[in-house]
Amino acid sequence: MWSAGVLVSVFLAEIALQGPWTVLLGKRRVIQNLKRYGPQNHLRDKQNTPTMGGVVFLLITLLAGLSLFLLGRWTLRDAVLLLGFPLTGGAIGLADDLLKFFRSSSEGLRSLQKFVLQLFAALVWSYVYIPDGLLVLAPGITLEGISGRSILIFFLVGALNAANISDGLDGLLSGMAAMSFAVLLILTPEGEADQLAAILGLGLSAGFLAHNFHPAKVFMGDCGSHFLGGLLVSVCAARGMLLLILPLGFMMGLEVVSVIIQIIAIRGFNKKVFLMSPLHHHFEMSGWSEKSVVYSFWALHAAGMVLLLKLLGDILICP
């Protein structure tokens, strides 16, 4: 009952608060500044869409975390462990969004600046999570010392950027995130701290999808995508199943790989592998409708999660 109550409360709160927040963003002209080299239909159809909808994620999360702590469902360590990194990641994304707004530009923090901030946040969180340097990748699989901390930081920073890169089409990231948190919810014990965090992610993602489904009324911005990526990896790590991020972040990982391949191809061979990266833009440029790309990626994400969980299930989730 606790789990169902938290899920319904978060879901309804996200739907209820996102509406007036979107209206306020529109009045203040807090709109998405699109990249001129992006798909041209985006410049036509999305140029006046409000952004920074992810601010509501941060507000609801702070209220939910405080409520769970005061009600005795979470300890202070639970709250810090599960929410510290996603909230910090969301703050970094918010700084990026605000710079874009005040500059009236599609460019906010420089890539190096953002990476350094992400790296610092991951480093601090790693000392909270594994003060002794012993990292649990999956039941019975551990790493110690610098290697363990380095792998953890790699996954933490990677999750922030994978989610951010995947947030390029209406409903794409929010839909995939909702699926991932739903699976994570099934894999975590009833009523435990990490399950409640997974419920929080599911409620926020699904609630936001009501506003973000094509045609989107609002975008989540970097603050929202950083938060969702950070929460997903934090819950996997807190569960002692860090490697679970591989199936749960299946399509997000492929999006990152497509960007890496494109960069190597252009800088190393002066050629393109994709018409545009990340991968979802390649299909758009190939003539697919936005809805077709989103539905296909949702289906691939679900299939990829199922396949990898079948292949790695005995390693990832065995007692």
Q: What does the domain layout of the chain look like in residue ranges? A: 2-246
The pLDDT assigned to 44 comes to: 60
Share of the chain above pLDDT 70, in %: 95
The answer for residues whose C-beta is within 8 angstroms of residue 299's C-beta and 6 or more apart is none
Average pLDDT over every residue of 38-59: 80
- Distance CA(101)–CA(95), nearest Å, equals 10
Does residue 192 or residue 164 have the better pLDDT? 164
- Distance CA(107)–CA(98), nearest Å, equals 10
Q: What is the pLDDT of residues 90-137, one digit of tens each?
A: 999 999 999 999 988 878 899 999 999 999 999 999 999 998 888 999
Does residue 107 or residue 10 have the better pLDDT? 10
H/E segment holding residue 93: helix 76-103
If pLDDT is split at 50, 70 and 90, which confidence band does 228 have?
Answer: very high
Query: Among 131, 155, 152, which Cα is nearest to 143's?
Result: 152
How much is the CA Rg of the chain, to the nearest whole Å? 19
- Distance CA(253)–CA(166), nearest Å, equals 9
Secondary structure class of 136 (helix, strand, coil): strand
Query: Among 110, 111, 109, 103, which Cα is nearest to 30's?
Result: 103
DSSP 195: H
The pLDDT assigned to 34 comes to: 66
- Distance CA(175)–CA(150), nearest Å, equals 30
Contact 242, 85 (CB under 8 A): no
The pLDDT assigned to 316 comes to: 80
Average pLDDT over every residue of 139-156: 93
- Distance CA(251)–CA(305), nearest Å, equals 9
The pLDDT assigned to 283 comes to: 95
How many Å separate Cα 181 from the centre of its chain? 10
Q: What is the pLDDT of residues 232-290, one digit of tens each?
A: 999 999 989 999 999 999 999 999 999 999 999 999 999 999 999 999 999 999 999 99
Is the pLDDT score of 318 beyond 60?
no
Determine the residue type at 105.
S
